[in-house]
Structure 1
Amino acid sequence: MTNSMPYSRHDVSFTSGDASCSAWLYLPEGVTSPPVVILGHGLGATREMRLDAFAERFAAAGIAAFAFTYRHFGDSGGQPRQLLSIKRQLADWDAAIAHIKGRDDVDGGRVAVWGSSFGGGHAITVAARHPELLAAVSQCPFTDGLASARALGPRASLKLLPFVARDLAARARGADPVTLPLAGPPGSIALMNAPDALPGYEALIPPGASFVNAAAARVVPTITAYRPGRAAKKVEMPILFCVSNHDTVTPPEQTLRYARTAPYGEIKTYEAGHFAFYLGEPFEQLVADQVEFLTRHLDAR
């Protein structure tokens, strides 16, 4: 990448609720008190799954980047493992923002949030709750649980219910969660079973790294009821929506309807699938657009 500046990466942890979240802080060298963008991933994913690629580009442009992993996943704390709680994940975002505001090596007054997929929905919710932020990026965002359930299909959705019942019973007994695959092949029982879902997840895992393809089944009803796109109209700062025209997981038609309600929204669409955003030419196009947007609104130098 031309005209980029060097940066350093630091292992960081911060407290959220009853546990801690692990994170990477990317600091551009030679920049005093840089602005910062906080990055959170999608459904059950961890920061190792290509958040580093985006963070590196932001840091090379003079913007500090803080990529974290939600509690209950990866190397972050939290018991039980693989618990996907929307309430807890949003609390993790709040804790990440508080942590950044308390640091003396970044400018806590120039902060943006960046989320992808399920995290893209969270980014909308978080931006609506934190008017002090200067910008937000919502990439291939999950915006409407009902729309995503329809994309999965009624028959596939019904097949999840026995697992939900067993997991709720396990929670009542204090037993380990009953889990569902996050992604599976077409026709399989999984939270996502579009043709590109499982290979898409697998393509994001670095060589030699491990990834637990599972989440506690109790999350299914809350995912269906979660409609973060409705908060777009309450986002008081510039927000960039990066939307896949061929999204098999988060239907673009509904996402675009919500995006158009954001008072200061900017929308860019891409001829790439939901899982193609992280690699190759789609990634290059996306990250260039995002660097331009963040540089403009964070007044990065």
Structure 2
Amino acid sequence: MAVREDVTFTVGASGKDRISAWFYRPTSDGPVPVLVMAHGLGAVKTMRLDAYAERFSAAGYACLVFDYRNFGDSEGQPRQLLDIKMQLEDWSAAVAYAHTLPGVDKSRITLWGTSFSGGHVIATAARLPGIAAVVSQCPFTDSVASLRAISPVTVARITARAVRDLIGAHAGKPPVMIPTAAKPGDLGLMTAPDAYPGYLRLVPEGPAGATMRNEVAARFGLKLSTYRPGRSAKQVRCPILFWVCETDSVAPAGPTLRYAAQAPRGEVKTYPEGHFDIYVGEAFERVIADQISFLDKHLRTVT
């Protein structure tokens, strides 16, 4: 059985902010591959990433699961500020820290991301040398496609709140928040019929769930439209698995499949589930089995 440790590492030249992470160390002998993992839009590691890491570690893989700055157990102010550039810096810092972990094979560092972080791992693998493999689960690959899945009225409301938040930030005011997931007709970044109940299924019971915040600083809405990490897929030279939900209401399958076709060593698995279905139940079991099969194929052959 794997041992889980609470660890921290710093990010940025000043090293001011500490990032909170879990390190899962399997009982396997010798250096083992390590998966660097983080969650999606406004989510934190306690939202079932432990379920994934436990299964990966049981299969012989070390896992480093972290919260972004400003979220969860990590430091950083203001809280709930989602900044794409900062999150990509956090990925780089996490990969650098993974190189220092005891018992891991530095030549087999793998990136695992889901939803919004599914896009981050594409961009990170294209930028950082030495990544052995990538798993990109139901990934956000194209902002234009995702925005088209939202009604124009909702987009306008998000933009208005984002502008108000940005103006307030310049005046030194606290962030104006916007729900990450909301019911259809309500204001939120994800308002498809399956978004709010799907989000709630990921929230843990007990104290951890009670303190969880379903919101981010609204200014993120102004930066979203320019982020298209799928365009980096053609620059990813290592094996990359695109795990695509055919009925995805948040990250439409079409653009992801087109980007996946451009990856030199891309592989695709498609499933009939929606965006939030794959974290729980029978769909989760199929996902884990397929992802471990991919990891075994590309990481177990390295000597």
What interval of TM-score do these two structures reach, taking the shorter chain for normalisation? over 0.9
How far apart are the structure 1 equivalents of 2:243 and 2:142? 16
How far apart are the structure 1 equivalents of 2:168 and 2:107? 44
SS at match of 2:9: strand
- Which of 149, 162, 168 is 1:151 aligned to? 149
Alignment of 1:97-246 (within 5 A): 97-208=95-206, 209=209, 210-246=211-247
- 8 A contact 1:131–1:236 mirrored in 2: no
1:288–1:99 CA distance, 2 compared to 1 (3 A): same
Name the aligned partner's letter for residue 157 of structure 1: V
| Structure 2 gap segments, 5+ residues each | none
Identity %: 51
SS at match of 1:47: coil
The offset of 1:15, in angstroms, is 0.5
- Which of 3, 6, 10 is 1:11 aligned to? 6
- 8 A contact 1:35–1:300 mirrored in 2: no
How far apart are the structure 1 equivalents of 2:281 and 2:129? 34
How far apart are the structure 1 equivalents of 2:249 and 2:28? 42
- 8 A contact 1:34–1:300 mirrored in 2: no
Deviating more after overlay: 13-22 vs 176-185: 13-22
| Structure 1 gap segments, 5+ residues each | 1-5
- 8 A contact 1:46–1:73 mirrored in 2: yes
- Listed one character per residue, the Cα deviations across residues 93-139 of structure 1 (whole Å, up to 9, x for unaligned) are 00000001122331222100000000000011011112311100000
Name the aligned partner's letter for residue 122 of structure 2: I
2:31 equivalent in structure 1: 33
Coordinate RMSD, CA, aligned: 1.1
- 8 A contact 1:167–1:216 mirrored in 2: yes
Alignment of 1:38-53 (within 5 A): 38-53=36-51
- Listed one character per residue, the Cα deviations across residues 195-239 of structure 1 (whole Å, up to 9, x for unaligned) are 111111110011112310111111112111100000001100000
Name the aligned partner's letter for residue 160 of structure 2: P
The offset of 1:31, in angstroms, is 2.4
How far apart are the structure 2 equivalents of 1:162 and 1:104? 48
How far apart are the structure 2 equivalents of 1:52 and 1:203? 14
- 8 A contact 1:62–1:300 mirrored in 2: no
The offset of 1:300, in angstroms, is 7.1
SS at match of 2:276: helix
- Listed one character per residue, the Cα deviations across residues 32-73 of structure 1 (whole Å, up to 9, x for unaligned) are 221101111100000000111111111001110111110101
Output the TM-score relative to the length of structure 2: 0.95
Output the TM-score relative to the length of structure 1: 0.96
Name the aligned partner's letter for residue 187 of structure 1: G
Name the aligned partner's letter for residue 295 of structure 2: L
